[in-house]
């Protein structure tokens, strides 16, 4: 996702967020086959999910995630995020999914539904694989956004992050379970349907309906499995190697959308060269009704409705395309490590823009991100790796996960050097493409690439709240032709960092690890001032004063 734009206001999101499985899972989904029927008469859908599961333990019953149809009068209103675009407080009365049957090999399976769980009674053994077919219907409470665009035309857009897929899909709705997916969408014939993977079939049906089949063979978490159905104008602005890139926009946005989205092939080519092979067989950039500024659905990115005319479209697309590598292909194991998605996308975007527009662009963006981090820390003191959040994962979409996560990578790059950093980045992607990582996995790979022990670095920047808050006092010593500096760490927990200083034309670096550090620098004359962190390399706040 992207929340880098100031006009993404704090919003109320009415959604149902279920708790991620804390215990070791009993199964691993291998493949989903979702057959979805939508229509223009109402918001009800009919679904059939065939789910192939490998069991990791002997069990007599197991659970999938699925929101049950609620009784009339029930409502849900949940907390907000700066990441969400539109104020939304949604009534869920009468919404949710009602399961009519579950079968295996044509035999009925006993089941029950809870508020957000589908209990399936099946005796299975560890190591065995079973395919269950779930027939269900209902009006999605969330997850599949059925609405109208500004032209008044009806649209359907999956919007699953973080664990909202189970509002309309029976699934294992957490990032640690990844699977292949096929979507078979039956819709009125005037819609174009876009989804993950490659389009395998598009067949006309009676009564002016159409069947569209999309197939994704890469391993995906449910958060980035989607369909989109709308009246689209479609363009093919180019390829990146053997990856075809498409534009899907509403017909009313055709001219602006085709032009602004055409930057995508250039972005993909840069990432292919710098990071590795693009993880999916195609990329579609789609104007949509997502609640986010951009949503990084695998191979089918959804952007907010006004995106074709936003001036920051290149930044936004660079961020979402970076997510194809980090967050989609290489995913966090659980939401506490979501910075491995959002921090990476934030910094990789800055790397792309630095490569295209020069180092001053990187400095300006990191300086701006630093201010955002400090503003957030005044309101909330939590570490970047925040494992205390157990259910409302929207609150993790904050400056810690985005800007501070990006800053950690920025400082890591300067600590170990460009060559080791890029080697580590490529190796991390290569190892976890199609899988899941904890922060410790990144640390190990970066240590291997650099030959350095990074335990202290990762501990202080990712597992410790706050940042160095430095009071710097300097005094010119005429007798010795030198400047005496006293640097004090004002925060409670001390950091071990290197601080760059520029005194006139002389550049120096000071190692800080104690509460107070005193140093002396020879200078030809009394300096006019002292520049602290001139190249924007340290996530720290500074207060500089001349002593008497």
Q: Kindly report, residue by residue over 406-425, the tens digit of the pLDDT.
A: 999 999 999 999 999 999 99
Contact 373, 407 (CB under 8 A): yes
Return all residues near 157 (Cβ < 8 A) that are at least 6 apart.
Answer: 144, 145, 226, 227, 228, 229, 230, 288, 289, 290, 302
Q: Which two tokens stand for residue 400?
A: 């810690």
The C-alpha atoms of residue 187 and residue 419 are separated, in whole angstroms, by 50
Q: What is the pTM of this model?
A: 0.93
Give me the domains of the chain, ranges plus CATH numbers.
11-307 (2.60.40.1730), 334-462 (1.10.390.10), 469-546 (2.60.40.1840)
What's the CA angle centered on 384, arms 436 and 382, to 5 degrees? 140
Rounded to 5 degrees, what are φ and ψ at 243?
-100, 110
CB 134 within 8 A of CB 20: no
Q: Provide the token pair at 225.
A: 């499995």
* Number of C-beta neighbours around residue 102 at 10 A: 23
**Residues of the chain above pLDDT 90, percent:** 89
Model confidence at 2, pLDDT cuts 50, 70, 90, reads: confident
Q: What is the pLDDT of residue 25?
A: 87
pLDDT of residue 5: 36
Q: Are 512 and 532 in contact (CB under 8 A)?
A: no
Decide: 292 and 304 in contact? Cβ < 8 Å: yes
Reported as a single tens digit per residue, the pLDDT across 201-238 is 999 999 999 999 999 999 999 999 999 999 999 999 99
Q: What is the DSSP letter of 175?
A: T
280-282-283 Cα angle (round to 5)? 100
CA distance 85 to 2: 10
What residues does 132 pair with on adjacent strands?
51
Query: What pLDDT sits at residue 24?
Result: 66
Q: Where are the alpha helices (DSSP H) in 231-389?
A: 254-260, 264-274, 313-325, 339-357, 359-379
Instruction: For residues 500 and 507, give the distance between their C-alpha atoms in angstroms, rounded to a whole number.
Output: 7
**Cα torsion through 21, 22, 27, 32, rounded to 10:** 30
Longest CA span, the chain: 95
CA gap 524, 527 in Å, rounded: 9
Other beta carbons within 10 Å of 385: 22
Q: What CA dihedral angle connects 420, 423, 429 and 430, to 10 degrees?
A: -140
pLDDT-derived band at 85, boundaries 50, 70, 90: low
Among residues 250, 227, 247, 353, the alpha carbon closest in space to that of 298 is found at 227
The DSSP 8-state label assigned to residue 171 in this structure reads: B
Reported as half-sphere exposure (CB side, CA atoms, 13 A), residue 281 has a value of 12
458 in helix, strand or coil?
Answer: helix
Section 48-72 average pLDDT: 95
User: In which order are the strands placed within the sheet that holds 154-158?
Assistant: 144-148, 154-158, 227-230, 192-195
Per-residue pLDDT reduced to its tens digit, 137-151 = 999 999 999 999 999
**81 and 394 Cβ atoms separated by less than 8 Å:** yes
């Amino acid at each position: 996702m992207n929340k880098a734009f100031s006009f993404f206001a704090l919003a109320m999101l009415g959604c149902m967020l279920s708790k991620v499985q804390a215990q070791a899972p009993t199964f691993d989904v291998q493949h989903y086959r979702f057959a979805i029927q939508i229509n223009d008469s109402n918001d009800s859908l009919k679904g059939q999910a065939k789910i192939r599961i490998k069991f990791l333990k002997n069990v007599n019953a197991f659970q999938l995630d699925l929101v049950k149809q609620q009784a009339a009068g029930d409502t849900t209103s949940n907390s907000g995020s700066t990441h969400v675009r539109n104020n939304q407080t949604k009534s869920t009365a009468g919404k949710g999914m009602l399961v009519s049957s579950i079968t295996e090999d044509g035999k009925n399976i006993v089941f029950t539904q809870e508020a957000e769980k589908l209990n399936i009674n099946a005796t299975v053994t560890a190591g065995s694989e079973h395919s269950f077919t779930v027939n269900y219907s209902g009006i999605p409470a969330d997850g599949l956004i059925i609405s109208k665009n500004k032209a008044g035309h009806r649209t359907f857009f999956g919007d699953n992050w973080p664990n909202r897929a189970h509002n309309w899909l029976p699934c294992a709705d957490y990032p640690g379970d990844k699977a292949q997916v096929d979507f078979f969408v039956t819709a009125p014939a005037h819609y174009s349907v876009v989804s993950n993977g490659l389009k395998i079939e598009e067949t006309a049906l009676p009564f002016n309906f159409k069947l569209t089949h999309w197939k994704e063979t890469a391993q995906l978490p449910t958060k980035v499995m989607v369909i989109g159905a709308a009246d689209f104008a479609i363009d093919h602005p180019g390829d990146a190697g053997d990856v075809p890139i498409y534009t899907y926009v509403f017909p009313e946005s055709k001219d602006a959308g085709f032009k602004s989205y055409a930057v995508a092939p250039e972005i993909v080519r840069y990432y292919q060269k710098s990071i590795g092979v693009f993880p999916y067989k195609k990329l579609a950039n789609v104007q949509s009704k997502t609640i986010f500024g951009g949503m990084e659905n695998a191979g089918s990115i959804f952007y907010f409705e006004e995106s074709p005319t936003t001036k920051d479209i290149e930044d936004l697309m660079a961020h979402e395309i970076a997510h194809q590598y980090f967050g989609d292909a290489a995913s966090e194991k659980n939401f506490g490590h979501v910075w491995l998605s959002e921090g990476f996308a934030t910094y990789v975007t800055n790397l792309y823009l630095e490569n295209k527009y020069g180092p001053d662009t990187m400095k300006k963006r990191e300086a701006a991100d630093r201010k955002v981090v400090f503003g957030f820390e005044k309101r909330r003191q939590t570490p970047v790796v925040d494992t205390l959040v157990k259910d409302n994962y929207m609150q993790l979409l904050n400056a810690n996960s985005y800007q501070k996560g990006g800053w950690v990578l920025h400082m890591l790059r300067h600590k170990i050097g460009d060559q080791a950093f890029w080697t580590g980045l490529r190796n991390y992607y290569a190892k976890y493409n199609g899988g899941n990582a904890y922060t410790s996995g990144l640390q190990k790979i970066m240590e291997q690439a650099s030959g350095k022990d990074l335990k202290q670095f990762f501990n202080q920047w990712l597992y410790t709240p706050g940042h160095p808050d430095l009071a710097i006092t300097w005094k010119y010593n005429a007798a010795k032709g030198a400047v005496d500096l006293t640097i004090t760490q004002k925060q409670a927990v001390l950091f071990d960092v290197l601080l760059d200083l520029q005194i006139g034309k002389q550049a120096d670096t000071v190692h800080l690890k104690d509460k107070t550090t005193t140093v002396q620098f020879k200078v030809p004359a009394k300096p006019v001032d002292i520049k602290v962190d001139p190249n924007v390399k340290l996530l720290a706040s500074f207060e500089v004063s001349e002593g008497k």
